[in-house]
Chains A and B, each alone.
Chain A
C-alpha cells in the first residue's frame, strides 16, 4: 500500500534474552511546572547511560500501580547528557500520577521507540515548524537540535499557536528564540486576555506573516488531531512538496514494539514506522489524520 522510506531509524536487533515489556528504573531529578496542566520532567538515566534518541521518538513511561503511557521526548539529543526531558500534560491516569510525583521519585522507562525526524536530510534547507498546543513538546526536541547545529540549516521559522496565553509552553525558550536574529518566531493564541498584545487567531493565521522559498523548505507540524488538515492546506498553499512535509502523529501506543495493535493506521504500526511520517507516506492512508 505505502512504502515507508528507509531514512534513518532505530534498527530492531532481536534480543532473545531481554523482556521487551520490562521497564528499567530512572530517577526524576527536576520537575518544572509550566502551565496549569503541563509539567516538564527531567529524568536521569541509570549508570550515566545516554538515551541515544532521535528527535520525534517517544518513551513508554510507567508509574507502577497506575500503568504505562507513551510520551514524546521533549529534549534534543544535543542537550541530553545523561538526562532527558518529558513535557507531560495531565490528561489521564498515568499522566495524573506523574504530576503527583516529586523530584527523587522513580519512574519505569522503556524506549526510545519509533522513527524520529530525518533531520540530517534537512541540512541546507529552510525549516518551517508549525507546532500547535502540546505539539511543541516533540517539536522542541528537533528545534533545539537544529539550533545547536544552526550553521547546517537555512532559515528557521516557527509558527506556534496555543489556545490562550496561559497555555503557551516553554515561555522562556520562546522568548530566547524570539530574540535570536537567526530564528523567525511568530506566536498566536486562539483567545487573548487583558495582558496579551500579540496575535490572536488559530495557528494557520500566522502563515500570512511569512514568505518562503517552497522548493528549499521543509514543513513540520505536530498538534491536536483537528489541526493537521488546515496546516497541510497552508503548506500546500505555500508550495511545499509532499515529500518535504513531516507530521508527527499521535496514537496510544501500548506496547511500543509493533504487537498490541492500538497504534495501527491501516497496515502501519505508528510505534514502529512512525510517529513521524512524511506526508507523501501517509497521504493515501485512511484514518491517518
Chain B
C-alpha cells in the first residue's frame, strides 16, 4: 500500500509499546539456533536470524490444543470457547508467509475451522524481507517464495540503520499509527530500498533444475518411480520432516481424562503421515504400510495434492525438513532426481 520508514531505535520502541497490549512473538536465539518465541523485551529479538527450528505456524496451529472440555457426569459437553490473546508475530520470512497463506486457505475453506481462524483473526504478522540466503538447504527462489506481495500486515526491509515498512493491511496501518513513530519515505529511502532489493536477488541460487510450474506434472508422472523405494529404504519414519514443516497441517484427535475420571478434554495435536499408524484402520489394515509409500505421499502432497486442493504449493522451500533429516532426504534432491529420471526416460 504505502511505504514508511522506521529508524531502528524507533523499531525497538514500537516493539516495546506493542508488548503492553499484545502477545509478541519473534525470532530469538536458543541453544545455538533460533526459534520463534514469545518475547518480553525488544532486545530479545534477532531480526537478522537465518532460519528457525520450527516455523511460526505453532502460534496459529499449536502442537497441542484443547478443542473442548467435557464431563462424563450426565454425558455433558462443555464448550470451551477458543480464546487466544491478540498476537503479533514479528520477523516472519516470506517463505513462512506463503505457508501461513496456505494454512489460512486450508482452515477457512470448505468446513470452517473456528479454532484456527479465531487465532488467525487475532494475529498480526510483521514479516521481513530476506536479504541473504539462510543456508545451503533453502530453495525459496526456486519455489517463488523469496518475496511476497501479500499475507502480511506490515513488511520490513532492513536498510542498515532503519527499516522500510510496507503497509499491507489496514490493521497494519493502524498498528503502526498507534504504536510507532514512523515517517514517510523520501526519495533517498526509496532509492536505497530499490538498491537493496536488486542486490539481494543474485545472492540466492536457483536450486531446482527446472521451473517450479513443472513440479506438479513431474510428480504426477512419478507415482511409480523407483526413487520412492530408495527413500523408503533410508527413511527412519521419525517424522522430523513433517514436524518442522511450515505447511504440514495433519492432526490427530484424542481424549484426555482428568484424575477424577469424570472430567476431561478433547485434544488435537500435530500428527505425521510418516508415522506407521497414520493410515491404519480399525481392523489393522494399513493403507500406507511402507515407508516408501509414506515418503511418496509426503512429496506428492508438497508438490501436487495440496496445490490441487488449495491452489497453493505445499512446499515453500524453507529447507527445514532437509536440515532436520538425519538420512539426508531433501526436497531439492528428490524433485531434481525425479526430473532427471523423466528427462532420461523421455
Interface residues of A (CB under 8 A from B): 1, 12, 14-25, 62, 64-69, 89, 91-92, 95, 105-108, 224-225, 250-252, 254-255, 257-262, 264-267, 272, 286-287
Contacts and interface: CB of A to CB of B under 8 A. Distances in A.
Given A21-B266, A22-B79, A106-B75, A15 B281 contact: no
B266 A262 contact: no
B131 to A, nearest CB: 35
A260 B285 contact: no
Given A257-B110, A262-B278, A65 B255 contact: yes
A258 B110 CA distance: 8
14 contacts: A14-B110, A25-B77, A64-B264, A67-B253, A69-B282, A108-B77, A250-B281, A250-B285, A254-B251, A259-B113, A260-B250, A260-B271, A264-B273, A264-B305
Contacts of B77: 22-25, 64, 108
A83 B287 CA distance: 33
B287 A287 contact: yes
Given A252-B282, A262-B250, A20 B75 contact: no
Nearest to B111: A257
Contact of B72 (A16, A65, A272): A65
B300 A260 contact: no
Given A1-B308, A19-B68, A260-B250, A265 B287 contact: yes
A21 B285 contact: no
A21 B287 CA distance: 25
Contacts of B251: 254-255, 259-261
Nearest to A66: B255
Given A21-B266, A68-B266, A267-B308, A261 B271 contact: yes
Contact of A259 (B111, B261, B300): B111
Contacts of B308: 1, 267
Determine chain A's interface SS by DSSP, over half rule: loop
Given A19-B68, A65-B72, A259-B107, A92 B282 contact: yes
B283 interface: yes
Interface-centre pick from B79, B254, B266 (highest chain A CB count, 10 A): B266
Interface size class of B (residues with CB under 8 A): 35 or more
B70 interface: yes
Interface string B279-314: 111110101100001000100100011001100000
Contacts of A266: 297, 300, 305
B67 A21 contact: yes
Interface of B: 67-68, 70-72, 74-77, 79, 82, 106-115, 117, 220, 223, 249-255, 257, 261, 264, 266, 268, 271, 273, 278-283, 285, 287-288, 293, 297, 300, 304-305, 308-309
B112 A224 contact: no
B263 to A, nearest CB: 9
Contacts of B305: 264, 266-267
Q: Is the interface of B mostly helix, strand, loop or mixed?
A: mixed
A190 B77 CA distance: 44
B115 A252 contact: no
A119 to B, nearest CB: 25
Nearest to A24: B77
A67 B114 contact: no
A64 B117 CA distance: 25
Contact of A12 (B67, B108, B111): B111
Contacts of A16: 112, 114, 117
Given A20-B112, A259-B111, A260-B250, 19 more contacts: A19-B115, A21-B67, A21-B115, A21-B268, A25-B76, A65-B70, A65-B261, A67-B253, A68-B253, A225-B281, A250-B283, A251-B279, A251-B287, A254-B253, A257-B111, A261-B278, A262-B271, A264-B297, A287-B297
Contacts of A265: 287
Contacts, number: 146
Contacts of B271: 260-262
A12 B111 CA distance: 7
A-B pairs, top 8 by smallest CB distance, nearest first, are: A261-B250, A106-B75, A257-B111, A267-B305, A64-B70, A225-B285, A14-B112, A21-B67
Contacts of A66: 255
Contacts of A20: 111-114
Contacts of A257: 110-111, 113
B279 A252 contact: yes
A287 B68 contact: no
Contacts of B82: 19
Contacts of A21: 67-68, 115, 253, 266, 268
Given A12-B110, A22-B77, A65-B257, A261 B72 contact: no
B246 to A, nearest CB: 16
B279 A22 contact: no
Given A65-B255, A67-B255, A258 B273 contact: no
Nearest to B79: A22
A92 to B, nearest CB: 5
A89 B282 CA distance: 10
A62 B266 CA distance: 10
B60 to A, nearest CB: 14
Nearest to A89: B282
A272 B112 CA distance: 14
A240 B70 CA distance: 50
Contacts of A255: 251, 253
